[in-house]
Amino acid sequence: MTRPVLRTRICDLLGMEYPILLAGMGPAAGGVGPAATAPLVAAVSEAGGLGVIGGTGFSADDLRQEIRQVRERTSKPFGVDLLFPSNVAPMPKPANGGARSWRDLVPQQCWDALDELRRQFNLPTLPPRDRERESERALRSFRMFDVKAQVQVVIEERVPVLASGLGNPEPFIAECHRVGTKVISVVGNVKNARRVAASGVDAVVAQGTEGGGHTGRIGTLALVPQAVDAVAPVPVIAAGGIADGRGLVAALALGAEGVWCGTAFLATREANLTDLQKSQIVAATEEDTRVTRIWSGKTMRNVTNPLIEAWENLGVKALPMGLQGLMISDLVVSAKVAGREDLLMNAAGQISGMLREVQPARDVLAGMVGQAADLLANQMPKRVQTGVVA
């Protein structure tokens, strides 16, 4: 059996056969955990790409187990993605008079907005006891978000690649390099590309606004070549709106050394999404996603739904990252109790419009590689005349 050859220097740097990385996709509010877990990660690495665990949804202990589960399924290299945000809302410390609740930090106007949304969608208000229990649960999972402990696991487990999805992983780069872990960093503009390159990352992932999940304002076509020029000779990996061989070849033409794909791998059997989320992505057109701060407080692209539209119409200012997620967990639970999973978060990018079926991850990867290799070797020379004339 033959396999197409498609290599760039990122393959040598990160140890994979093809220059395609699975984006390390984390959890959705009210969802079933990170989207990129061991089955998907291992399938992508086995197929010749680099699978990356969406590590941000795991406690340090659970992350260690997930890493080990990847290793049980593949001996190929893989990565872990974590978030290093610089501005997460500080949680209240117990004051002299007793413990203060994070609820005290949420302005009344936000609680009023949640009540208004409950009214519009006929969602139940939880009884105080259930509300408190949910509150405790949300706070516990917020506290698990301990990036120092997570990085320590990545280092102890000698994971081949650490990806930082938000912020700058600078404080951890030297220690990662000491144990042979490469560090790559996702950015959404040239300023941050320069910043992480100066910190010593091994590659920069330049993600355009088309992408699913947290996203910036610059389109992939404009961002990638500017990031390439800004950080050379540090390699750039393109992200945002890439789901087939055409997108991959376009990224290479822009100067990228590879691609980091999220949405393309959501419509796969191995992705850790509900069937409803997968069917929403497959049904979506290119116009059906929207950037909103409702779920995390930061700009995040999702398959839109009536709840997101209603939140945006209210015009309420979102709270900082951390606090917004805690506050909105109240509404998420109300929606779940009412059986309205269709109103929950479903992060995905504009390229959803191109995805028409749920496939095995290895078919997605093989399709991208085959199409890109054919375009470069056969189609482009036929379609584009080049040379010189006198």
Ligand X SMILES: Cc1cc2nc3c(=O)[nH]c(=O)nc-3n(C[C@H](O)[C@H](O)[C@H](O)COP(=O)(O)O)c2cc1C
Q: Using the rule CB under 6 A, is 241 a contact of ligand X?
A: yes
CB–CB of 173/196 below 8 Å? no
Residue 254 CB contacts under 8 Å (≥ 6 apart), including other chains? 221, 224, 225, 228, 238
Q: Using the rule CB under 6 A, is 161 a contact of ligand X?
A: no
Q: Using the rule CB under 6 A, is 262 a contact of ligand X?
A: yes
Q: Quick one: tokens of 81?
A: 């993605």
The CA distance from 259 to 182, in Å, is: 17
Q: Using the rule CB under 6 A, is 239 a contact of ligand X?
A: yes
- The smaller minimum CB distance to ligand X, of residues 25 and 294, is found at 25
350 secondary structure, DSSP code = G
The CA distance from 291 to 300, in Å, is: 5
Q: Quick one: tokens of 260?
A: 């980091």
Helices (H), the chain: 9-14, 38-46, 60-73, 108-121, 128-143, 147-156, 170-178, 190-199, 220-231, 245-253, 275-283, 306-314, 323-337, 361-374, 380-383
Q: Using the rule CB under 6 A, is 165 a contact of ligand X?
A: yes
**Minimum distance between the CB of residue 320 and ligand X, rounded to whole angstroms?**
18
Sign of CA dihedral 353, 354, 360, 361: negative
Q: Which of 167, 240, 322, 325 binds ligand X (CB under 6 A)?
A: 240
**Minimum distance between the CB of residue 56 and ligand X, rounded to whole angstroms?**
5
Q: Which of 307, 319, 308, 332 is nearest to 138 (CA)?
A: 332
Stretch that binds ligand X, among 62-70, 174-182, 203-211, 320-328 (CB under 6 A): 203-211
- The smaller minimum CB distance to ligand X, of residues 48 and 213, is found at 213
What's the distance, CA 113 to chain centroid? 28
**Minimum distance between the CB of residue 50 and ligand X, rounded to whole angstroms?**
13
Enumerate residues 167-196 that contact ligand X by CB under 6 A: 186
Q: Using the rule CB under 6 A, is 261 a contact of ligand X?
A: yes
Q: Using the rule CB under 6 A, is 66 a contact of ligand X?
A: no
Q: Quick one: tokens of 126?
A: 């939880």
Q: Using the rule CB under 6 A, is 237 a contact of ligand X?
A: no
**Minimum distance between the CB of residue 170 and ligand X, rounded to whole angstroms?**
16
Sheet with 300-303, side-by-side order of all strands: 213-214, 300-303, 289-292
The CA distance from 289 to 267, in Å, is: 15
Site string for ligand X, 337-356 (x = CB under 6 A): ----------xxx-x-----
Q: Using the rule CB under 6 A, is 203 a contact of ligand X?
A: no
**Minimum distance between the CB of residue 49 and ligand X, rounded to whole angstroms?**
13
- The smaller minimum CB distance to ligand X, of residues 251 and 351, is found at 351
Site string for ligand X, 16-55 (x = CB under 6 A): -------xxxx--------x------------------x-
**Minimum distance between the CB of residue 242 and ligand X, rounded to whole angstroms?**
6
Q: Which residues bind to ligand X, rule: CB under 6 A?
A: 23-26, 35, 54, 56, 81, 83, 165, 186, 207, 210-213, 239-242, 260-264, 347-349, 351
